[in-house]
A and B are shown apart, each in its own frame.
Chain A
Amino acid sequence: MITLKQIEKYYTLKGAKSYVLRHIDADIQKGEFVSIMGPSGAGKSTLLNIIGMLDEPTYGSYKFMDQELSSLSERKRIEIYRNHIGFVFQAYHLIDEMTVEENIEVPLHYKNISSSERKSRVADLLDRFQMVAKKDLFPHQLSGGQQQLVGIARALAPQPLLILADEPTGNLQSAQALQIMDLFRQLNKDEGITIVQVTHSEANAAYGNRILNLVDGVVTNNS
């Protein structure tokens, strides 16, 4: 599903190149649950952002579903991640002015999905995450775990093939973190959704079936 070849990312500061990522080669198959691990500043998030097309590599080739991304226009790329990729963030990043229900619904608006279809999908997700009673609350009225649930529900709404999660439990207490990680495993096992997560917790990484170890922008261990 994802093929990274010789991906490099660097910034030029006063003529000197400062590398974030070097010679990254990786393959991620459909249905995998991959954890990217590494110390702070290793370039984990940058790699995730490149996979999520929020950032561009300075050099190298990135194929998503056998399409070379650098050859695609901005519009096409948005089209791809709008249809196939869902994001989950450490800080949840819900829209503060929207209710739970509306937050889950927004991505569907951008996919031009009909009103009735939207309603039914949102209702399903609320039901599944047991948030029906909370659908009219605003993010700040929820606990962190609940907010992250909404974040995941939002990511799932467009029925993506791939979920990219950047430290999804970083802001959560351990009990809530467990709940979220269980949810990810379930999504991966039962629905076959490919998941790539960034984490620096061994425990969380263990949920996945493969770990990419990243140190100073270089993959040291791909097991």
Chain B
Amino acid sequence: MFRLNLKISLRNLWKNKGYTFINIGGLGLGLASCIILLLYVSYEWGYDKQAPDFEKTYLVYNHQQTSAGIFSHPTTPGAFAAEVKQNIPGVYRAARFGYPKDGLITEGQSSFRKTGVYVDPDFLKIQGYHFISGSASSALAQVNAVILTRSLAKSIFAEEDPIGKTVTLDKKDALMVTGVIEDLQKNTSITFDYLLPWSLLEKQDPFFKNQSWNNNFCMTLVQLESTDLFTKADAQVRQLYNKHESDKVSEFTLYPIAKWHLYNNFENGKQVGGKITQVKIFLLLAFCILLIACVNFMNLSTARSEKRGKEVGIRKTIGASKKALISQFLLESLLMSVCGMLLAIVCIELSLPYFNRLLGTGLEVNYNDLRYWVLLIGLTLFTGIVSGSYPAFYLSSFEPVIVLKGIGKSSKSAISVRQILVVSQFVFAVCLMICSIVIYQQLNFIKNKPVGYQKDQLVEIQVQGNMLKNAGRLMLTKDKLLQSGAAKQVSFFSMSITDGGNNTFDVRWPGKSANDRTLFDFRSTGYDLVATLGAEMIDGREFSPKHADSTNIIINSAAAKAMGLKKPVGSIINWGGTNLEIIGLVKDIVIQSPYKKVDPMIIYYNLEEVNYILVRLDSKIPVNAALQKINAVMESIEPGFPPVVKFADDNFEAKFQNEKVLGTIANWFGGFSIFISCLGLFGLALYMAEHRKKEVGIRKVLGANPIQILTLLNKDFMRLVGIANLIAFPLAYLIIQHWLEGYSYRIELTLIPFFIALVLSVCIALLTISMQSIKAVRANTVDALKYE
């Protein structure tokens, strides 16, 4: 029986190629979308879970009291790791690690600009890196050691054995390669191309030997002997700060490293979601798209019931039980979903590289991994059964007497179920459409929100090599850049203009209350900062060679407001025990998150501390030519160091990665779901055109004009699309309003997205249906009536 049924199913599919194509196409696209989204979800879910003992590994979070609430970040004092390892029972390992930093690795004539992280030796064991050569216990024992990832080792040494060879870091420190580890998975939070011992950092900059509990400059990983000890260990970690300091402003907690990536938002010291929300949305989206594809299949199968009805009737009269028929129809739908899955795999393989580029991910279907097979087979079965069950029960319930008499026109109830299905498909598609439009609007709004300076035509050049802490060389660079004609203005900054950085509580001003804990950002700069940035000076002046500015500062409006100074310029404040005079008040500059309020900032003059050269390009020169000139200048000043030049607006764009991913995915998969829905609509229209051929013929004979017939045929479908829009509007409103509420700077919802979605969905649907109805209208009347 099974073989016969399979044969019949295949013949059926082959005979109705149009339906088969629509069905398999829809299912394939639905499955492909679903799998790609699931891959993305599992990729995000797998973040930081590569280490064998990741469950016992915790990141130390620091919750600091500030005037604006509790500020949570994973930065700790340097002394923290040693302290917990020694004094807290249950702590198996603890290690410091720094922020990833770019450095120039040189071997012979070849140099590579790559990212490195300074770590304690225990870090290697906690993270359980797989050593290709060298070992976790000895690789970082010496000060002048470096561990390379496999691909860096390969690009430096090609096929040679790197162990024992020497490379130099930033053309200063000679380091010996003591280990090579496997490349990191893309879904890890701590990424690098090479690892350096923490002791090297302390040697390079004695500041990092600092044992004070007030200075946070590294991150700390703690590994417990067992997860059961967490509560106790965490309680003790919470006491640590107060044990060393009396001001009670910080509290440390242990945070599972596996949660670092997805549950990364803290509000007032409490965990409040984060990227996980987005991941959950994608998970939901994955199944909705698959369901839409299943609905297509249901619609088409039941719409064709007239044809299949006869077969059901015959089979029943010759002895088929309902069960046998159900299994036959399920077999057919499973066959369809298997074909759909094959198509989906092809689509996935073709589109994954594109999505990986777009999302910056490393998604792949690993055919050697059993879990992927479970997923693929599970989804195939799920799709086959879900999409096949309703048609199977519906078709198998036909009464032979009725269908064999030939009056088995699809009953009323089946039509309404089909209508409900079409409406629900379109509700989903319209919702997605509205949401992606609003996401796009919000993204644009934030992007175009004034940031207090001119983002375009502004580049940042990283200060490297001998220029560091060398005011003379920096000034020379500035002069040369200006002479080259590429730059209109040049200044310096201690951090990237789009990055976070140093901050301090240690600012005093007249009238500061005793328990005021305002956090001030501080940055050092050179001359012409405001002019270079294109920022706005509210009062006073900026640093200039005409004045001696070593004890003068510029503050931003937020700082003026925080200090409550009526006339900031001219006021004297104290920072770290030094009295400083405010000489300028600049309008707020958004340096970190464009979603948040700007923090108070102090800017002072000190070329010893700058890390970036800011260049305002001369707009009269083409950008490429300007960049070439800049590169030439930088290479002449610091030969051997490839210049690192970045556009401020590119860096700024990078802050929207999350929203961009969301927007892109909503766009793509919204598009897919509309396309799949249209495939279904197309199939229904195909059926409708066939079904009403005779009616159209009669109407034409009776004198109806084509427009009237077209209207008649399209009317029913358009009503469904209209209803779908009406249902989708409030739904989309609730969803997107909820999403917008997560942003303190957000657009007001207008009618425009709803209007666009309405027009688009109606147009697309109209186009789809009309392709069929026009055919029905133009068909030869005689043929239509001769039929039967």
Contact = CB atoms under 8 A, between A and B. Distances in A.
A10 to B, nearest CB: 15
A97 B15 contact: yes
Contacts of B317: 52, 54, 81, 87, 93
B745 to A, nearest CB: 62
A81 B400 CA distance: 13
A108 to B, nearest CB: 9
Given A93-B314, A95-B314, A81 B319 contact: yes
A32 interface: no
B4 A110 contact: no
B320 A93 contact: no
B404 A89 contact: yes
Given A49-B401, A93-B310, A106 B321 contact: no
Nearest to A50: B401
B14 to A, nearest CB: 9
Contacts of A110: 1, 315, 318-321, 324
B311 interface: yes
B319 A111 contact: yes
Contacts of A30: none
Contacts of A52: 317
Given A54-B316, A78-B319, A158-B318, 19 more contacts: A49-B401, A52-B317, A54-B400, A55-B401, A78-B321, A81-B319, A93-B313, A93-B314, A93-B404, A95-B8, A96-B311, A97-B12, A98-B4, A102-B4, A106-B318, A107-B319, A110-B324, A154-B318, A155-B318
Contacts of A49: 401
Interface string B320-336: 11001000000000000
Contacts of A109: 1, 4
9 contacts: A54-B317, A86-B318, A89-B404, A91-B406, A93-B317, A94-B314, A98-B8, A107-B319, A111-B319
Contacts of A96: 311
Contacts of A78: 319, 321
A125 to B, nearest CB: 14
B11 interface: yes
A105 interface: yes
Interface in B89-143: none
A99 to B, nearest CB: 9
Chain A CB within 10 Å, residue with most, of B12, B15, B321: B321
A75 interface: yes
Interface residues of A, number: 28
Nearest to A158: B319
A210 interface: no
A105 B15 CA distance: 21
A5 interface: no
A110 B399 CA distance: 18
Interface in B444-469: none
A82 interface: yes
Interface in A63-120: 75, 78, 81-82, 86-87, 89, 91, 93-98, 102, 105-107, 109-111
Q: Which 8 A-B pairs have the closest CB atoms?
A: A82-B319, A110-B319, A107-B318, A109-B1, A97-B11, A93-B314, A54-B401, A87-B317
A78 B322 CA distance: 10
A119 to B, nearest CB: 12
Interface of A: 49, 52, 54-55, 75, 78, 81-82, 86-87, 89, 91, 93-98, 102, 105-107, 109-111, 154-155, 158
B149 to A, nearest CB: 59
A97 B320 CA distance: 17
Contacts of B316: 54
B315 A106 contact: yes
Nearest to B12: A97
A96 B14 CA distance: 13
Contacts of A86: 318
A155 B317 CA distance: 10
Instruction: Tell me what chain B mostly uses at the interface: helix, strand, loop, or mixed.
Output: helix
A82 B320 CA distance: 8
Nearest to B15: A97
A205 B399 CA distance: 29
Interface of B: 1, 4, 7-8, 11-12, 15, 310-311, 313-321, 324, 399-401, 404, 406
B8 A97 contact: yes
Contacts of A81: 317, 319
Nearest to B317: A87
A89 B404 CA distance: 9
B171 to A, nearest CB: 78
Contacts of A91: 404, 406
Contacts of B311: 95-97
A203 to B, nearest CB: 25
B399 to A, nearest CB: 8
Nearest to B406: A91
A52 to B, nearest CB: 7
A106 B12 contact: no
A95 B315 contact: yes
A87 B318 contact: yes
A86 B324 CA distance: 19
B324 A105 contact: no
B4 A105 contact: yes
A86 B315 CA distance: 12
Nearest to B9: A97
B17 to A, nearest CB: 14
B321 A75 contact: yes
A107 B314 CA distance: 10
Contacts of B401: 49, 54-55
Contacts of A54: 316-317, 399-401
A158 B320 CA distance: 13
Nearest to A93: B314
Nearest to B311: A95
Contacts of A82: 318-319
Nearest to B11: A97
A21 to B, nearest CB: 14
Contacts of A106: 4, 315, 318, 320
Contacts of A154: 318
Contacts of A94: 314
Chain A CB within 10 Å, residue with most, of B8, B313, B314, B316: B314
Nearest to B324: A110
A157 to B, nearest CB: 9
Contacts of B11: 97
Nearest to A155: B318
Contacts of A87: 317-318
A97 B1 CA distance: 15
A93 B408 CA distance: 14
A95 B313 CA distance: 10
B321 to A, nearest CB: 6
A52 B310 CA distance: 17
Nearest to B313: A93
Contacts of B315: 95, 106, 110
B272 to A, nearest CB: 58
Chain B CB within 10 Å, residue with most, of A81, A91, A93: A93
A89 B314 CA distance: 10
Nearest to A83: B319
Nearest to B7: A102
B514 to A, nearest CB: 88
Nearest to A90: B404
Contacts of A105: 4
Contacts of B12: 97
Contacts of B406: 91
Contacts of B319: 78, 81-82, 107, 110-111, 158
A154 B319 CA distance: 12
Nearest to B403: A93
A139 to B, nearest CB: 11
